[in-house]
Amino acid sequence: MLFQIQISRMKTSNVIWVGNYSTVVKRDPVLHWSWKSELPLECATHFVRMRSRVDDAKIPEPRFWSNWSSWKEADAQKSLGRDPLFLFPKDKLVEEGSNVTICYMSRNQQDNISCYLEGQQIHGEQLDSNVSAFKLNKVSFIRKTGTNIFCKVDQKDVIKGIVLFVSKVLEEPKDFSCETQDFKTLTCTWDPGTDTSLPKRSSQSYTLFESFSGKKILCEHKNSCNWQVDSDSQEMYNFTLVAENALGNRSVSVLFSLTHRVHPKTPYNLFLKNVSGTKATVTWKVHPIGNYSTLLCQLDLLGEGNVIQQHNVSIKENGEYLLSELEPDTEYMARVRCADANHFWKWSGSISQKFITAEAAPSEALDVWRNVKSVSGRPTVTLFWKPLSKLHANGKILSYNVTVENLDRPSGLEVHSVPATANGTELTLDQDSYQIHVTALNSAGPSPASVIVVSGDPGNEEVEEERVNGTEDGFSVSWKPQSGKAIGYVVEWCDHPQDLPCDLQWKNLSSNTTSTVISSGAFRPGVRYNFRIYEISTERMAYLLEKKAGYLKELAPSDNPQVVVSNLTSHSFTLSWKDYSTDSQLGFIQGYYVYLRSKAEKECHPGFKKATLPDKSACCQHRIDNPEQKTFVMENLQPESVYEFLVTPYTSAGSGPLDAFTKVTTPDEYYLVEKGPYTHTHHPPHDRLRFAHHDHLLPKKSVENPHLTIMNVSDCVPDAIEVIHKPEGSKIQFLGASKSLTETEFTKPAYLYLLPAEKNYSGPGPCICFENLTYNEAAADSGSCGHFPVTPEALPGQPGPLTSPENLLKALEKNYMNSLGETAAGEASLNYVSQLASQMSGDKDSLPANPPEPVLCSEYKMQMAIPLGLASPPPAENSGLSSTTPLDQSEHYR
């Protein structure tokens, strides 16, 4: 029979659905048919009617419909209570993404009702005066506890709601596959995807169905299922996995042959046997798979985490393999995994075992080098060697053996054992030649010997040094072979030439090599590196071949030389910086710049050219191209003029700092002092009295300026001056000096520093003493005066005025030690440096505890009173870059 069914909503004329239902009708049948309404039935009255006709091919046409049945009413509203508002459907379960229709029914059509989904108002379609429906499209999963939808009647505080339980979408199982480890059980696994469980509703379940056998099992786990293989008869399997929850199901199938899905169990009992320095035997076992299966096992040998050997071994149950070509004293790991040899499906799990090979004697000779020096007249050989690499040591080095054999006078072997922690040793030998063998020992034996021959004769050290340029890669060093019989070359250098020890390095090169690049992470710009190239003779003796010196990168000098001013005349003076070493600078010194500036002269002297200083001021510059020319004579100067000079070296990277100029004032052309017994000395023609701070003698001079200058005698009114010199041949004895200087050795002028008489500082020996009877009665009364050695460097650059004895003493002390050996009293100048009044100021505590002892004195017995206005003008004020230097001895202090 075929039944045609009509469904109406609200009223019978409003047909919303028509459908057919065909079924076989038996005697007294009760037929069941159901229809799901999208709109909850509680919200509207529904009507249903049907008609039928025969639907049997045996019955000839025409076949007529029966009459429609009467409408049957389905009215769920009648069973509701008297509440003012109802909301449907209650507690509905849907899948995420589906469409849901909800409705409310109000008892009072006057009520104003608003509805909300998770706080957001929703708007629906009014079905009649009391009923509205809301269609929610593609509902989202919000939380497992459901989505609240509620409506409220405004002004009446009535709330009604429902909870929509939205389930996550049930996914098709992913990565579904089955395999066996023993042909007894098939294990099927899959990725179940999202959990669709909700409160009071369990997650999806899984069922495994095999079509060939027709068997079905309910899986206990969400992601795996075990299937018992009943017999060997079934080779093919066709599994269907069905995932199912309250809302539906998803399924996935797989068809396979059992023998193609063999996943062996992890091998076991992996052992290493007969482990020697280079070989080891590996054994292992596997779980058998069936009666005829063969397994293919992969044996990996790993060193430091990397696979270094790989071997394939076919086995039934027991595996064995001999590993060879191993390194002694090395840790390895053997790792085994297996798979079905006939139909590869998957590797089994891996089993691994670490082992260490036995030690073997070191395989290489040590890289040995030597340094020969003379200690107390005896040649002393320092041997250096580089530790053997792990690859060549073949074990733990226990010690080094150094065997010394005298080649000139055979007298047996001398054997020294050096601890393993050392990388060198020192041997004291004689002038004979010695052959030295050095070996490294581990538990398995000694290394091949490294042989070196040394001789007490250092050989030719007089090799001219050449320059070598440094690059980013290092120093490219090349040499010319000499003997033609060299068996090799060695380049030697220090990584830290300024340190002690200097970290001697060497590089061995073959006999057919004549160049190499020396690189080191220790190389720094501005450091001079010296390279010595040795030729190794067939007798294994090293001969110095060449010397090279170079900078990775030359830098500009950081310091200027300390310049001494001498031979000052009214028209010239001499600058010298003989102590300046050109070897230990930041680059190769190519020469010097001499800068001169003077307010008196606008034009540059011949040989000078105009230059501009960093502060934009102008000066004159003279270039000296010879780095070994360390003197310069300034000529054609004006008398009684102030000159400022600066000497700075230059390298390829630039010159030194242009900071502190030194001031020199040329004297006038008058003589001041008659000298007494200095006849045996060489006297420059312009002797002068010089005053460091002669405010008594130069009334016009400002006392703030502590610098020295020349007092023009014509500005003074001499009262009386007397120079008393002690007997000839007296020597100036400097404390701590290794030699004494006679007056005849005084090639440089010096200052005399005078203090108020203090007996503590007086001492025996010759001195020059000025007594200012006019201004210092206390000193005069004392009948003695300070006796101090003459120290040319004492005054220049002292930060404070020297008007106080404390400062003066400091200056004396500081410079005293530095000046030893080069200090000489002025041979022709009577140098009045400081005439101190009795002003005692400054920190007396800072007086040195042991002031230098005076050793030489001359005495200035009487002085003059200087009338105001007769003193020579004060020296020019210093510029920022200038300081005033003593005439005869000039040094810079910064």
Cα 785–chain centre separation: 63
Contacts of 849 (CB under 8 A, 6+ apart): none
CB 716, CB 869: distance < 8 Å: no
Nearer to other proteins (CB atom), residue 198 or residue 280: 198
Nearer to other proteins (CB atom), residue 118 or residue 320: 118
Q: What binding mask, one character per residue, do residues 29-68 give for other proteins by CB under 8 A, x or -?
A: ----------------------------------------
For the chain, give the number of residues: 894
Sign of the alpha-carbon torsion through 267, 272, 274, 275 = positive
Least separation in angstroms between CB 98 and other proteins = 19
Sign of the alpha-carbon torsion through 710, 711, 713, 715 = positive
Nearer to other proteins (CB atom), residue 117 or residue 272: 117
Q: In this chain, which of 59, 159, 415, 735 binds other proteins, going by CB under 8 A?
A: 159
The total of other beta-carbon atoms located within 10 Å of residue 768's CB is 29
Nearer to other proteins (CB atom), residue 162 or residue 809: 162
Q: In this chain, which of 100, 113, 162, 258 binds other proteins, going by CB under 8 A?
A: 162
Nearer to other proteins (CB atom), residue 159 or residue 255: 159
- Look at strands 642-651 and 618-624 and give their pairing: unpaired
Nearer to other proteins (CB atom), residue 159 or residue 308: 159
Q: In this chain, which of 60, 119, 412, 736 binds other proteins, going by CB under 8 A?
A: 119
Query: How many whole angstroms separate alpha carbon 475 and alpha carbon 478?
Result: 10
Q: In this chain, which of 63, 72, 143, 844 binds other proteins, going by CB under 8 A?
A: 143
Query: How many whole angstroms separate alpha carbon 127 and alpha carbon 125?
Result: 6
Nearer to other proteins (CB atom), residue 163 or residue 463: 163
Residue 616 half-sphere exposure toward CB, CA atoms < 13 A: 0
Which DSSP symbol is given to 869?
Answer: T
CB 884, CB 709: distance < 8 Å: yes
Choices 161-169, 170-178, 705-713, 749-757 (CB under 8 A): range interacting with other proteins: 161-169
Q: In this chain, which of 3, 47, 104, 150 binds other proteins, going by CB under 8 A?
A: 150
Choices 142-150, 255-263, 408-416, 818-826 (CB under 8 A): range interacting with other proteins: 142-150
Least separation in angstroms between CB 46 and other proteins = 22
Residues 167-226 that bind other proteins (CB under 8 A): 199-200
Nearest C-alpha neighbor of 165 from the set 92, 246, 103: 92
Q: Read off the amino acid at residue 881.
A: L
Nearer to other proteins (CB atom), residue 34 or residue 155: 155
Nearer to other proteins (CB atom), residue 142 or residue 449: 142
Nearest C-alpha neighbor of 477 from the set 539, 523, 439: 523
Nearer to other proteins (CB atom), residue 39 or residue 115: 115
Q: In this chain, which of 146, 481, 607, 874 binds other proteins, going by CB under 8 A?
A: 146
Distances (CA, A) of 439 to 425, 434, 454: 13, 16, 17
- CA dihedral in degrees (712, 714, 718, 723; nearest 10)? 50
Cα 348–chain centre separation: 44
Least separation in angstroms between CB 128 and other proteins = 24
Query: How many whole angstroms separate alpha carbon 135 and alpha carbon 156?
Result: 26
Q: Applying CB under 8 A, does 860 fall inside the site for other proteins? A: no
Contacts of 64 (CB under 8 A, 6+ apart): 53
Q: In this chain, which of 14, 112, 145, 257 binds other proteins, going by CB under 8 A?
A: 145
Choices 114-122, 297-305, 568-576, 748-756 (CB under 8 A): range interacting with other proteins: 114-122
Choices 153-161, 309-317, 754-762, 846-854 (CB under 8 A): range interacting with other proteins: 153-161
Q: How is 743-807 classified by DSSP, letter by letter?
A: GGG--S---EE--S--GGG--SS-BEEE--TTT-HHHHHHT--------TTSSTT-SS-TTSHHH
Nearer to other proteins (CB atom), residue 101 or residue 798: 101
Query: How many whole angstroms separate alpha carbon 210 and alpha carbon 856?
Result: 123
Q: In this chain, which of 1, 2, 50, 158 binds other proteins, going by CB under 8 A?
A: 158
Residues 71-110 that bind other proteins (CB under 8 A): 87, 90-91
Q: Which residues are near other proteins by CB under 8 A?
A: 87, 90-91, 116, 118-119, 142-148, 150, 156-163, 165, 199-200
